[in-house]
Chain A
Amino acid sequence: MENIIEEILEKYPDAKRDSLLPILQDIQDKTGYISEEAVIKVGQHLKIPASKVYGVATFYNQFKFNKPGKYHIMVCRGTACHVLGSSTVLEELENILKIKAGETTKDGLFSIEVVACMGACGLAPVIAINGEFHAKVTPESLPEIVEEYRQKESEKEREKKEK
């Protein structure tokens, strides 16, 4: 973890405060969350107090402070999705995975997050898994989608074992 943060900071020599968000975004992208260590190191690098780095990071939805699942599922909470039933989709997802939004499954595979409009309103309700969009999702179509990812994961495991 430490190395990843150092690597990212090296890409921003002489950086000032306006690089704070891009740096945090890089760390969020590469490690999936913002750790205490990250906050302190970024603060030192930019010469900004840790309280301010933390204050900025917690303001924005994008930054997580807990480790996410391997497959991070975003359920859209936008108007169109809402009108077309996104709340039942969320409920069903929580049932299938046995976790609530904001949590990660015990095996570390899946985490759920509810997000504001993702901008794909023409195809509501929408969910995105690790950035891959799935349109016109229904409680009925969910189990299959989840299973698809479980299969993907077991294939990866098999490949790893073979190596």
Chain B
Amino acid sequence: MNEITIEINGKKVIALKGENLLEVLKRNNIEVPTLCHLKGLFPSGACRMCVVEVEGRRNLVASCSEPVMEGMKIHSHSPRVINARKTIVELLLSNHPDDCLYCERNGNCELQNLAELMHVRERKIAGKKNKYRIDVSSPSLVRDPSKCILCGRCVRVCEEIEGVSAIDFTYRGSKTIIAPAFHKGLNLSSCVNCGQCILVCPTGALKEKSYLDEVRNALNQKDLFTVVQYAPSITVSLAEEFGLEPGTDMNGVLNAALRKIGFKAVFDTSFSADLTIMEESAELIDRITNGGVLPMITSCCPAWVKYAEQFYPDLLPNISTCKSPQQMMGAIIKHYYAMVENLDPQKIYSVSIMPCTAKKFEHTREEQQRQGLPDVDVAITTRELIKLIKMHGINLKELEPELADSPLGSRSTAGKIFGASGGVMEAAIRTAYYRLTGKELVSFKIPAVRGLQGRKETRIEIGSLNLGVAVVNGLQNARLLLEEIRKGRNDIQFIEVMACPGGCINGGGQPIGMKEENIKARMNALYKIDESETIKASHQNPYIIELYNKFLKKPLSHKSHELLHTRYQPRNVIK
């Protein structure tokens, strides 16, 4: 008999053995505020916001970590409980900078929400506030320990989901700070810039390094030709912000909006995703037929690349030499589009919009430039994009959809599904199959690599070849697989690694506060697009064909190597 009966606020309720009180309360639609709670991770019991009164217990009990027991009688909102919760919020605020109006999370901050929920209306508790230096050393992230409430979510995500552990709690008591070893800047630590910590931070203690001002300045400069590219995930990640169903594809209106904002050309990174597939599938085939290093591992995720450079330098030869779609697009814009349109590459200001914070790091890498000209000048996140759109008073719902600019604006759906974990793999297989057998796949769908779970493996028959492929998301999952590879596992030939759990649709630059349903909706939207359109493989994209005919000649050509491939270096960081 797994079911037990407990009483909540006078009402009898069924619960299952082994559940925590919080789960039962949520299931019964009783809103208990939480702060340090993170779904999927073992409760830490740190914030004490979720405390409830349990009859027979002397103290209040944290519902996140209290297992249900037969006959328990709980009061979730008694005066004693409310008083405790309110005081806890007041205590937090007493040690928090009073600068909501200037804070990145103004309007989207869990602490603000709690202060409002508990009706905090005066600064009742005065006292000294901790003042810490802001860490701006990283190109992707900014840390402000003064705003940190020490919930520990960032530490846990960095350790348990990403397997990086760049930061941890240091010191003790009121002097506790979350920081990298020796309190050095993030740029010297093993941080891979994935930004997952930002997504779980309840306050403005963690945020991306914003380049909105640079973008706005560039747009205002008459002599600059400002262009923009946006990642596949972007178009399905905006809906909630504009009052539409999660997952609604806003591709057309986004093009229109970007033009209204002032970008001279609007390109779709999904196009260069197709390009990446052309190069990468050729590379894979080359390695397979000519005894190159296997398994080959994807390279489009810059957080993964940095991770490998730090922790798996021995596997660097396994990583594909292809640049990421963002970088390939940047290179093609400045060295092909400029040529075709008769523009001076020095006058092109290339902006990318990414669901990712690691892209801000990627475009600064010294390999990602040619003759002093960076492929991409600045990368901004989905969050920054939304602010830009709203600042310009644009209501996406009112716009007429437009197309992106040729020849870098049309894509196959293979390029589009890059946004979901497994998308790169599926796209690559569609093209590799054709290149090896001369025939198209009967069904382009490869369900075994789809979905949000952390590791997916399957085998693909391509003619006489039996390829083992694996897809991992979340670097901790990558670590586990790579350890197997290191120990000698050799039945896998191609691996896709994404640092963010679920893929780019859940990237560190995405809107904050999204639930799992939203992420699923985005994923489903991408696959729906794949289902509904006719051009489903990169090699079928006419604009890709044209690019090769007119410019690159063929995959892995000299020109391709010059512009579209890169190299890696082991990194010595504190780890």
Contact = CB atoms under 8 A, between A and B. Distances in A.
Partners in one complex: yes
Contacts, number: 47
B412 interface: no
A55 B168 CA distance: 6
A102 interface: no
Interface in B456-494: none
Contacts of B180: 51
Contacts of A55: 168-170, 181
Contacts of B159: 49, 52
Interface string B146-172: 000000000000010000111111111
B166 A51 contact: yes
A55 to B, nearest CB: 4
A39 B180 CA distance: 12
Nearest to B171: A58
Contacts of A36: 182
A51 B171 CA distance: 12
Nearest to A60: B172
Contacts of B181: 39-40, 49-51, 53-55
A41 to B, nearest CB: 12
Interface in B125-165: 159, 164-165
A151 B575 CA distance: 45
Contacts of A53: 181
Quick one: which of B159, B165, B166, B171 has the most chain A CB within 10 A?
A: B165
Nearest to B574: A50
Chain A facing B: main interface SS: helix
Contacts of B575: 43, 49-50
Interface residues of A, number: 13
B34 interface: no
Nearest to A48: B165
A52 B168 contact: yes
B172 A51 contact: no
Contacts of A49: 159, 164-166, 168, 181, 190, 575
Nearest to A44: B575
Nearest to A54: B181
B189 interface: yes
Interface in A22-54: 36, 39-40, 43, 49-54
Interface in B227-285: none
A39 B574 CA distance: 10
Contacts of A50: 181, 190, 574-575
Contacts of A54: 168, 170, 181-182
Contacts of B169: 55, 59
Contact of A39 (B165, B167, B182, B190): B182
Interface string B171-192: 1100000011110000001100
A59 B171 contact: yes
Given A50-B181, A51-B180, A40 B574 contact: yes
A36 B190 CA distance: 15
B496 to A, nearest CB: 25
A125 to B, nearest CB: 25
Contacts of A39: 181-182
Contacts of B172: 58-59
Contacts of A59: 169-172
B269 to A, nearest CB: 33
A52 B172 CA distance: 14
Contacts of B179: 51
A52 B182 contact: no
B174 to A, nearest CB: 13
Nearest to B172: A59
A3 B364 CA distance: 39
Contacts of B574: 40, 50-51
A36 B574 CA distance: 10
Contact of A52 (B165, B171, B189): B165
A61 B165 CA distance: 23
Nearest to A43: B575
A144 B167 CA distance: 47
B218 to A, nearest CB: 37
B185 to A, nearest CB: 13
B4 to A, nearest CB: 37
Contacts of B171: 58-59
21 contacts: A36-B182, A39-B182, A40-B181, A43-B575, A49-B164, A49-B165, A49-B166, A49-B168, A50-B181, A51-B165, A51-B167, A51-B189, A52-B168, A53-B181, A54-B168, A54-B182, A55-B169, A55-B170, A55-B181, A58-B171, A58-B172
Closest 3 CB pairs of A and B: A55-B168, A49-B165, A54-B181
Interface of A: 36, 39-40, 43, 49-55, 58-59
Given A49-B159, A55-B168, 12 more contacts: A39-B181, A40-B181, A49-B181, A51-B167, A51-B181, A51-B189, A51-B574, A54-B181, A55-B169, A58-B170, A59-B169, A59-B171
